[in-house]
């Protein structure tokens, strides 16, 4: 291990994840280095205090003044100490601000976008957990519970594997697709490239424009004709003469709210042609009230349909 090179990279914020790991191992081998890091940490009011309250320049100024009084500046050892202290200050900054590397990414009511170590982009829908189950060096493996859109970086020799329920999984080389895997609900829509769905001892090849859904325990491949598969990501809902009962089902998922008694508006004449772009639920329900004289009761997390008049 070339510690001098790694220290310099740390000072210049160019150290890799592997080099930071090597620094962690290096500092753990030295009692003096541990004591030094502890001293630096004590400059904060609490060990868990936010990084914004930590000033590396001020910390270095304090240490430099001590070195000035104890060590001649023309000494070779002085410069080694300067290198060491600067590296450890950079290292401490990394320890304090480094992102969560547990590999478990969850959402509750929110949606979020993220980039994995291989530069694959992922968008997570609400109530979703994505778990990285490999180091993304030798292999690229994750598991999914919920809904996510994947834009996977092409790496021919390292397929991207998404574990589903039981022994089911999706194998990808490089493509973009949306996956819903929540309980008994499964929906896979491919937007570019080609993925392989491995389920029930079968391999289903799915290409751009195709979709696989789980219906009564069976996986069916169809053409993707739903314009709202990515509405949760793009914040756009489009309905082209769609039945109102189907619209309410889409609204329930999009706004993460329970809508009950939808069968009260199962009249096929209740149809709507409209587009909602980043619209609030209140505004959408107000429009439906105006169009269909829709009546309903609403609490914080539930809308109960009472009636609708269709022409």
Domain ranges across the chain: 3-97, 104-223, 235-307
**pLDDT for residue 65:** 54
**pLDDT for residue 311:** 72
At residue 89 the predicted structure's pLDDT band, cuts being 50, 70 and 90, is low
* Mean pLDDT computed over 109-134: 93
**pLDDT for residue 8:** 57
pLDDT(252) > 70: yes
Of the two residues 6 and 174, the one the predictor is more confident about is 174
pTM of the model: 0.65
* Mean pLDDT computed over 6-18: 62
CATH-assigned architecture of domain 104-223: Sandwich (2.60)
In CATH, what number does 235-307 get? 3.55.50.30
Q: Nearest Cα to 141, choosing from 171, 174, 176?
A: 171
pLDDT(194) > 60: yes
* Mean pLDDT computed over 20-26: 69
39-88 residue pLDDT tens: 544 543 343 344 344 454 555 555 445 445 544 444 444 444 555 555 55
Of the two residues 51 and 168, the one the predictor is more confident about is 168
pLDDT(163) > 60: yes
Q: List, in sequence order, the alpha helices (H) in the chain.
A: 3-11, 17-28, 31-41, 56-70, 76-97, 231-234, 244-254, 281-292
**Phi, psi at residue 96, to the nearest 5°?**
-80, -35
At residue 7 the predicted structure's pLDDT band, cuts being 50, 70 and 90, is low
């Amino acid at each position: 291990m070339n510690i001098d090179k790694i220290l310099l990279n740390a000072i210049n914020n160019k150290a890799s994840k592997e080099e930071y790991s090597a620094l962690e191992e290096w500092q753990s081998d030295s009692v003096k280095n541990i004591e030094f890091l502890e001293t630096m940490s004590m400059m904060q009011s609490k060990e868990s205090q936010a990084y914004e309250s930590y000033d590396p320049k001020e910390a270095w100024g304090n240490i430099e003044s001590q070195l000035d009084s104890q060590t001649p500046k023309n000494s070779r050892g002085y410069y080694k100490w300067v290198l060491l202290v600067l590296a450890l200050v950079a290292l401490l900054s990394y320890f304090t601000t480094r992102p969560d590397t547990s590999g478990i990414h969850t959402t509750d009511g929110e949606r979020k976008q993220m980039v994995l170590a291989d530069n694959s982009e992922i968008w997570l829908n609400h109530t979703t957990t994505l778990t990285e189950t490999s180091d993304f060096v030798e292999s690229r493996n994750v598991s999914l519970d919920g809904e996510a859109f994947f834009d996977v970086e092409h790496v021919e020799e390292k397929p991207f594997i998404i574990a589903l329920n039981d022994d089911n999984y999706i194998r990808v080389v490089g493509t973009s697709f949306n996956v819903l895997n929540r309980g008994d609900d499964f929906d896979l829509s491919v937007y570019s490239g080609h993925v392989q769905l491995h389920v029930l001892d079968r391999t289903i090849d799915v290409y751009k424009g195709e979709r696989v859904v789980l219906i009564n325990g069976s996986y069916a491949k169809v053409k993707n004709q739903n314009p709202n598969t990515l509405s949760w990501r793009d914040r756009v809902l489009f309905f082209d003469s769609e039945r109102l009962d189907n619209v309410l089902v889409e609204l329930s998922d999009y706004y993460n709210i329970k809508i009950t008694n939808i069968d009260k508006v199962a009249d096929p004449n209740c149809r709507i042609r409209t587009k909602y772009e980043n619209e609030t639920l209140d505004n959408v329900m107000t429009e439906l009230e105006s169009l269909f004289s829709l009546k309903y009761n609403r609490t914080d997390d539930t809308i109960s349909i009472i009636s609708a008049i269709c022409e």
